[in-house]
Amino acid sequence: AQSVTQPDIHITVSEGASLELRCNYSYGATPYLFWYVQSPGQGLQLLLKYFSGDTLVQGIKGFEAEFKRSQSSFNLRKPSVHWSDAAEYFCAVGGSGSSASKIIFGSGTRLSIRP
Amino acid sequence: NAGVTQTPKFQVLKTGQSMTLQCAQDMNHEYMSWYRQDPGMGLRLIHYSVGAGITDQGEVPNGYNVSRSTTEDFPLRLLSAAPSQTSVYFCASGRGDRGPYEQYFGPGTRLTVT
């Protein structure tokens, strides 16, 4: 069964600084990987996803993530954060085959932006 | 399109009561799911469905029932509410022949069990 870990509960970065949010997954084969964002009081929105192919994926709002099979990681990055990026970020993993339908989320990382 | 709709938005139940959280989508998605969100625990998958008549358990299915009689609707039933079921519940739908390529989430239902 797949699982996902987000080791950072809360991160604060200065506006304009770069950002990296960590995500580690556990799955025996190539997983499906997702990053979602939840703004305060809002629902969840997909930022980007990885299924196969190029390991560097681009998403919305200037985010990107890199799949590293050797490290079982799918870290989210942004070169320069904006105050509007303050939100909670969730990494999620789905398996392949019959496990593709079971999408498991991590516990989330809350991002605060320092003016 | 309304997307994914959930009713009610808020609900207070007494321990032992039953209720159904409604979820509907108008995007003709095969896949639908229910998650609960609790502080510090992220979203946990309760049940999911890959099509009408097909449901399966997620990570935390105990105390919840689901059915999928139509493509559009995926109600979540709490059989006998317990304080541990106090949470925010999200329904989602997605398209994908082997799993959702992207899930679209509803606005959530905040449930309090006293």
- pLDDT per residue, tens digit, chain B (114 aa), is 789 999 999 999 999 999 999 999 999 998 999 999 998 889 999 999 988 999 999 999 999 999 999 999 999 999 999 999 999 999 999 886 555 668 899 999 999 999
Q: Is A106 exposed, middle or buried (0-12, 13-18, 19+ CB in 10 A)?
A: buried
Joined tokens for residue A80: 């320069």
Contacts of A30 in chain B (CB under 8 A): none
Option in A43, A96, A108 nearest B105 (CB): A43
* CA distances from residue A16 to A65, A66, A78, A109, B45 in whole angstroms, order as listed: 18, 21, 10, 19, 35
A44 interaction partners in chain B (CB closer than 8 Å)? 43, 90, 92, 103, 105
- Other beta carbons within 10 angstroms of residue A28's beta carbon come to 10
CB atoms within 10 A of CB B2: 9
Q: Is the torsion defined by CA of A95, A109, B5, B65 positive or negative?
A: positive
- The answer to whether the CB of B25 falls within 8 A of the CB of B94 is no
Q: Which residues of B touch A59 (CB under 8 A)?
A: none
**Neighbouring C-beta atoms of residue A78, cutoff 10 Å:** 21
CA distances to A51, A59, A78, A110, B98 from B30, in Å: 19, 24, 33, 31, 10
Percent of chain A residues past pLDDT 70, beyond the cut? 96
Of A4, A42, A44, which to mutate for an interface test with B (greatest number of B Cβ within 10 Å)? A44
Smallest Cβ–Cβ distance between B107 and the set A43, A90, A97 belongs to A43
